[in-house]
C-alpha cells in the first residue's frame, strides 16, 4: 500500500470513529429526550400537583408514593422537578436562541465591515467580555428588575459577546473563501452573497456552540433564581427549588439534592452532545 493510500485509510478510519455514537452519547441524548418530553407532557411522568400544598405530608423522605420525597409545604419534589423542566428549558433555549441570533448579526457585521467599523465593534465585544457572564446578568437584572422574562433576557445578554466573537472570526474566514470570491466575480450582489454564502457557513459553528451553551444558560438561570432574582414561589423552577431546600439540607436533603442532580445531568448531557457535534464537524473538514 502506498503512503498516500495509507494516509487516506487512516483519515477514513478517523472520520468513522469521530462520527460513531458512543454509549455516553446515547445516554446523554436519551436523558435530553426524556427531559424534553417531561417539559412538553409532564402528565406522562407524574400525576401529582406541583404546587398543591399538604402540610400533613411535609418533609416526607423519598418512598413509593413520593420518589423524590416532599418539601416543607408537603409538595411532591418529583412533580416539581418534572414541571420545573418546562421553565428551566424554556429559559435555557430562549436565552440561547436570542444570544445566537444577536451574536450572529453583530459578529457578521463586524467581520463584513471595513477596518474602522470592525475595530469599534470588536473593542466593544472585548469590553463586554471582560465582565464575567454571571456578573453581567446580575447587572442586567438590577437594571430591568427580577422576574422570569428578565431572567431570560439577562442570561441572553450575558452570553451574546461570546457568540458575536465566534461569528466575527468565522465571517472573516468565510468572506475570503474561493466560492465567495467567485460569487463576487460573477457579479452577485453583496446582500445575496452574504445571505447565501456567508451567513450559512458562519451559522454552523454557532449551532455547535449553542448546543453546549444551553446547559450553561440553564445553570446561570438556576443560579440567579437561587438568589431570588427569577420566578417567584410557588413556580417550580429548578433554581428556586434549590433555594427553598437549602435551609433543610440537614433534615430533608432530598429537596435540594434531586434538582441539583437533574441540573448537573442536563449540563453534562448538553456538553457531551455538543462535543460530539464539534468533533463531527471537525472530521468533515479534514
| Percentage of the chain exceeding pLDDT 90 | 60
| Percentage of the chain exceeding pLDDT 70 | 91
Rg, Å, the chain Cα set: 23
More confident residue, 243 or 18: 243
Neighbours of 40 (CB within 10 A): 11
Report d(CA 265, CA 268) in Å as an integer.
5
Average of pLDDT values for 194-223? 89
Neighbours of 111 (CB within 10 A): 22
pLDDT tens for each residue of 22-37: 888 999 999 999 999 9
* pLDDT band with cut points at 50, 70 and 90 for residue 284: low
Report d(CA 67, CA 261) in Å as an integer.
14
The pLDDT of residue 285 is: 59
Neighbours of 58 (CB within 10 A): 14
The pLDDT of residue 19 is: 53
Neighbours of 29 (CB within 10 A): 15
Query: Please, what is the average pLDDT of the chain?
Result: 87
Average of pLDDT values for 167-176? 89
* pLDDT band with cut points at 50, 70 and 90 for residue 195: confident
Residue 111 contacts residue 172 (beta carbons within 8 Å): yes
The pLDDT of residue 266 is: 95
The pLDDT of residue 196 is: 83
The pLDDT of residue 252 is: 95
Q: Residue 60: is its pLDDT beyond 70?
A: yes
**Cell numbers that stand for 135 in this block:** 456578573
pLDDT tens for each residue of 112-152: 888 888 888 889 899 988 889 999 999 999 999 998 899 99
* pLDDT band with cut points at 50, 70 and 90 for residue 201: confident
pLDDT tens for each residue of 68-97: 999 999 999 999 999 999 999 999 999 999
Q: What is the pTM of this model?
A: 0.86
Q: Residue 18: is its pLDDT beyond 60?
A: no
Q: Residue 245: is its pLDDT beyond 60?
A: yes
Amino acid at each position: 500500500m502506498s503512503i498516500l493510500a495509507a494516509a487516506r485509510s487512516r483519515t477514513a478510519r478517523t472520520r468513522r470513529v469521530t462520527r460513531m455514537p458512543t454509549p455516553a452519547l446515547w445516554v446523554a441524548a436519551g436523558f435530553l429526550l426524556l427531559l424534553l418530553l417531561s417539559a412538553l407532557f409532564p402528565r406522562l411522568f407524574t400525576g401529582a400537583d406541583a404546587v398543591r400544598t399538604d402540610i400533613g405530608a411535609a418533609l416526607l423522605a423519598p418512598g413509593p408514593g413520593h420518589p423524590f420525597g416532599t418539601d416543607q409545604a408537603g409538595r411532591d419534589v418529583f412533580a416539581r422537578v418534572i414541571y420545573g423542566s418546562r421553565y428551566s428549558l424554556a429559559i435555557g433555549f430562549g436565552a440561547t436562541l436570542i444570544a445566537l441570533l444577536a451574536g450572529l448579526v453583530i459578529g457578521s457585521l463586524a467581520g463584513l465591515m471595513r477596518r474602522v467599523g470592525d475595530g469599534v465593534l470588536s473593542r466593544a465585544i472585548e469590553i463586554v467580555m471582560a465582565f464575567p457572564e454571571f456578573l453581567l446578568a446580575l447587572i442586567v437584572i438590577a437594571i430591568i428588575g427580577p422576574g422570569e422574562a428578565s431572567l431570560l433576557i439577562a442570561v441572553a445578554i450575558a452570553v451574546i459577546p461570546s457568540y458575536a466573537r465566534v461569528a466575527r472570526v468565522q465571517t472573516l474566514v468565510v468572506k475570503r473563501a474561493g466560492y465567495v470570491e467567485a460569487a463576487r466575480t460573477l457579479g452577485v450582489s453583496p446582500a445575496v452573497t452574504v445571505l447565501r454564502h456567508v451567513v450559512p457557513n458562519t451559522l454552523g459553528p454557532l449551532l455547535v456552540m449553542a448546543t453546549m451553551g444551553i446547559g450553561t444558560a440553564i445553570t446561570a438561570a438556576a443560579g440567579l433564581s437561587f438568589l431570588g432574582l427569577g420566578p417567584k414561589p410557588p413556580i417550580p423552577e429548578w433554581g428556586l427549588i434549590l433555594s427553598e431546600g437549602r435551609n433543610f439540607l440537614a433534615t430533608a436533603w432530598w429537596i435540594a439534592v434531586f434538582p441539583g442532580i437533574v441540573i448537573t445531568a442536563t449540563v453534562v448531557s448538553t456538553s457531551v452532545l455538543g462535543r460530539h457535534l464539534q468533533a463531527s464537524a471537525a472530521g468533515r473538514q479534514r
